[in-house]
Amino acid sequence: MKKIIYVIVLFSLFSCKEDKAIVSQNSKLFYNGDILTMEGDEPTYAEAVVVENGKIVWVGSKTEVQSKYKNSEEIDLKGHTLLPGFIDPHSHFGMVSNTMGQVDLNPEPVGTVKNIDDILDNLKKYKEKNNIADGEWIFGWGYDDGQLAEKRHPNKKDIDKVLPNNPVYLQHTSGHMGVANTMGLEKLKISARSKNPDGGNIDRFPNSQEPTGLVQETAMYPFVRGMLEILGSKQAEYFDTTQNYYASNGITTAQDGMTDRNTIRFFQSQADSGKFKIDLISLAGYSELDSNLADTSLRFKTYKNGFKVQGTKIVADGSPQGKTAFFSKPFLTEVPGCHHDCRGLPSLTQDALNKLFETAYNKDNQLFIHCNGDATIDMALLAHKNACEKLKQPLDKDRRTIIIHSQFARPDQLQLFVKYNLQPSFFTNHAYFWGDVHVQNLGKERADFLSPMVTAKSLGLKPTNHSDATVTPINPIFTVWTAVNRVSRSGAVIGLAERTTPYFALQAITSFAAYEFFDENLKGTLTTGKLADFVLLDKNPLKVDPMEIKNIQVLETIKEGKTIFKK
């Protein structure tokens, strides 16, 4: 008996000793840099972080960690800045991928287009370079009428000059309208006899019913559907390139902002084949809500091999710079196709929006509603209230309904966001790209309250901030810069009072973005037990001149402890 007790005591002593030092050949210890944990509302730094089996196992002092985790591979950060991998609050992964099969028509600084002749020259060269036969569709993306020298949309007659024998569709930078040439209009059977669809507009030449080629909102849907079908055959070819593009910008979790059922199946097949380098979150389209809710194989809010369908995206209005966002007060400048009380277009009736909210809330399906104009936000707030009352649910239940863009939310609406427990996902890139345009179209008071990040946070909300790519480029560092500085193309400050701190701007793409997707226990901060998703920057956004933030470089992106991009 004494011998047995002696063995047990020795074993216990040995076990206690081993608890003090964890010997691991597979762990990595990151040190000698600004390790910004993103925990809490004030900046907190750690001396070292240890990663093992794809997760964070230690955050703390270097001395303690070295004594605890022996034989770890030591990674010297060389004074650079390590923080959680960027989480994309809203973009269109599939559309970004599709642009690889289209003509780039972006103005500076994204592209080189300055006028309509540049657009026509790019289209002509694209056909020649790619040996596109007559009769085949040609697509372009990113043109911005507000940045063209002519200050107008190209029309079908312009495009016909260089491409009379190909159907053509050019997507506006807003993603809410586009222009087709004569053959493109004929393919979709749009003529002078065509009526405007509900929630859409077919632009006409003055004093005529003849279409110019410009189709807005729901009128563009047939063109976009056709484009996606044609380009869809190359999804697999572009998929990895698109992942690499996101990863090169420090993003470890991306979003596809409205995904049809076929594309959901494609994404899941890529994930199940082990082809994901980053996580991808999909928002299903509202037109397929009933089908998706009835599909038992579709497990919302649940990752499978790095992919999950989080909820449902509703498009409730259009674009402010394209003058199709729905406002309570009119635009101050001329609106194509409108001659009186021009306040933009809701994409859905109030009844239709009410029904979508009620259906989704009844099944605990998270909603993401595209609302740019304040009148559309009013519609969403009413739909929320109506659904809660009909279903006898609390107004402030933790649904995390996200009002995407919320660009021109009024102060009283933000108060209702708090009351109803809704969250905004803002879009401060607009301050740079279209801030000057908003001042002209909406007036300085409305323009200055664009994406009111500071006001929202002061009310206790957790706003995120996104690129809406392809509308603006995937570049979280630039998005931080626009939130902090709110400087327009001309150098004007758009809403001085709504300038954020650099730390808050980072929260909007890390910890707050994780919260948006119910991922706060999985990612978004450097916390023991969370995924080892990191981005390494050459400089600390909190320690450089605010105007220099946009020049910070992503040096490395790490997903679950493995490098997926290195500069």
**CATH 2.30.40.10 boundaries in the chain:** 20-79+525-567
What is the domain class of 93-230 according to CATH?
A: alpha beta
User: Mean pLDDT, to the nearest integer, of 140-159?
Assistant: 95
Interval 312-346: pLDDT, tens: 999 999 999 999 999 999 999 999 878 899 999 89
Check whether 4 has a pLDDT greater than 50. Answer: no
- pLDDT at residue number 339: 87
Please answer whether residues 58 and 6 qualify as being in contact, where contact means their C-beta atoms are separated by less than 8 angstroms: no
Residue type, 343: R
Check whether 390 has a pLDDT greater than 80. Answer: yes
- pLDDT at residue number 203: 94
**CATH 3.10.310.70 boundaries in the chain:** 93-230
What is the maximum alpha-carbon separation in the chain? 107
Check whether 6 has a pLDDT greater than 90. Answer: no
Question: Tokens representing 53?
Answer: 């089996």
**CATH 3.20.20.140 boundaries in the chain:** 322-500
Residue type, 377: I
Residue 1 pLDDT level (bands cut at 50, 70, 90): very low
Burial class (CB in 10 A: 0-12, 13-18, 19+), 193: exposed
Cα separation, 437 vs 317, whole angstroms: 19
φ, ψ of residue 264 to 5 degrees: the values are -55, -45
What is the domain class of 322-500 according to CATH?
A: alpha beta
- pLDDT at residue number 337: 79
**What is residue 25's DSSP assignment?**
S
Q: 53 vs 23, which has greater pLDDT? A: 53
For CA atoms 231, 235, 236, 242, the dihedral sign is positive
Cα separation, 492 vs 387, whole angstroms: 42
Interval 69-113: pLDDT, tens: 888 999 999 999 999 999 999 999 999 998 888 999 999 988 999
Nearest alpha-carbon partner for 428 in 481, 496, 356: 481
Alpha carbon distances (Å) from 248 to 277, 427, 508, 512, 553: 12, 21, 19, 21, 10
Q: Say whether the peptide bond before residue 452 is cis (omega within 30 degrees of 0).
A: no
Burial class (CB in 10 A: 0-12, 13-18, 19+), 554: buried
- pLDDT at residue number 19: 44
For the entire predicted model, the pTM comes to 0.89
Q: Coil, strand, or helix at residue 357?
A: helix
Interval 151-196: pLDDT, tens: 999 999 999 999 999 999 999 998 889 999 999 999 999 999 999 9
Q: Among residues of the chain, what percentage have pLDDT more than 70?
A: 96
| String of DSSP letters for 46-105 | EEEEEEETTEEEEEE-HHHHHHHEETPEEEE-TT-EEEEPEE-SS-BHHHHHHGGGSEE-
Residue 10 pLDDT level (bands cut at 50, 70, 90): very low
- Which residue bears the tokens 């790490």? 558
- pLDDT at residue number 23: 55
Check whether 24 has a pLDDT greater than 90. Answer: no
Please answer whether residues 255 and 279 qualify as being in contact, where contact means their C-beta atoms are separated by less than 8 angstroms: no
User: Mean pLDDT, to the nearest integer, of 477-500?
Assistant: 98
User: Mean pLDDT, to the nearest integer, of 381-387?
Assistant: 98
φ, ψ of residue 141 to 5 degrees: the values are -145, 150
Interval 28-77: pLDDT, tens: 999 999 999 999 999 999 999 999 999 999 999 988 887 788 889 999 99
Cross-strand bridge partners of residue 309: 282
Please answer whether residues 543 and 549 qualify as being in contact, where contact means their C-beta atoms are separated by less than 8 angstroms: no
Interval 204-247: pLDDT, tens: 999 999 999 999 999 999 999 898 888 877 888 899 999 999 99
Residue 25 pLDDT level (bands cut at 50, 70, 90): low
Check whether 8 has a pLDDT greater than 50. Answer: no
Alpha carbon distances (Å) from 566 to 141, 364, 534, 554: 29, 40, 12, 8
Nearest alpha-carbon partner for 49 in 444, 528, 423: 528
Check whether 3 has a pLDDT greater than 80. Answer: no
Q: 19 vs 399, which has greater pLDDT? A: 399
Write the CB contacts of 42 (distance below 8 Å, at least 6 apart in sequence). Answer: 503
Cα separation, 86 vs 363, whole angstroms: 30
Return the beta strands (E) in 157-243 as ranges: 168-172, 177-180, 200-204, 211-217
Question: Tokens representing 254?
Answer: 């991306």
Interval 264-306: pLDDT, tens: 999 999 999 999 999 999 999 999 999 999 999 999 999 999 9
What is the domain class of 20-79+525-567 according to CATH?
A: mainly beta
